[in-house]
Structure 1
């Protein structure tokens, strides 16, 4: 399992309130619908499957956002794809952390995932939330298209993970 992280801002004492505010202001139902459509369309060319999880406030039981990303990867069953090609893009809004967790069937290097995190981190620092998130999804889908097994020739393109972002 591969894992990459980036942080776009230092955490302040009001991180939880800020996390809720960021989610409400920038991750609107319209953007989330656009993201879901974008994920669904881009997954048509490869066996990789992307899931986006956005958490406004990190739970107290797991203060380490890297470990929380791994927990979310398991709880959302991102690992449960036929070819082990699930990828989680996890945003911890209160901590300003970004993590990508990829299952073992995705043969991409850690450097590729880190580059995606860093580009998204820069976009979020500039408050370019919607376009930055969509660009990161495009980057991830490009990686998946070149580092995942092709779709089966029988045309069976089962979508095993939901395309809609999960709000935690």
Structure 2
């Protein structure tokens, strides 16, 4: 199951992505928002990032106005690799090289058709492993080091 959430700035794009993913046969759980009222993006980033951090879910998508706030908040959770993508190439690399388990998009900066293509490239992509695993292992070590200092 793929988890998805947005703040008010990403609501319109999130709704388009939910419909698109369902049409593609993806099992999607929409965690909100469902109205245009102003909300705090860290609350919605946590709804997706926490279950992924706890390995209760494998993948997620977050959308806010630019994607910046959601990516910052989501990456505070251990084991989360939330990647802010701007085009199909960055979405592809997020999956293939970084094994990103959360794709972050900007609802106010992306064309919906492009965003759907980005989601497809990321969702259907595969992590290459190999030389990239050594780099991910270093990220894991950084997380452990930071946890030990806390």
Same-fold call, TM > 0.5? Answer: no
User: Which fold has the larger relative contact order, with Cα–Cα distance below 8 Å and residues 6 or more apart in sequence?
Assistant: 1
Structure with greater proportional helix content: 2
TM-score by length of 1: 0.35
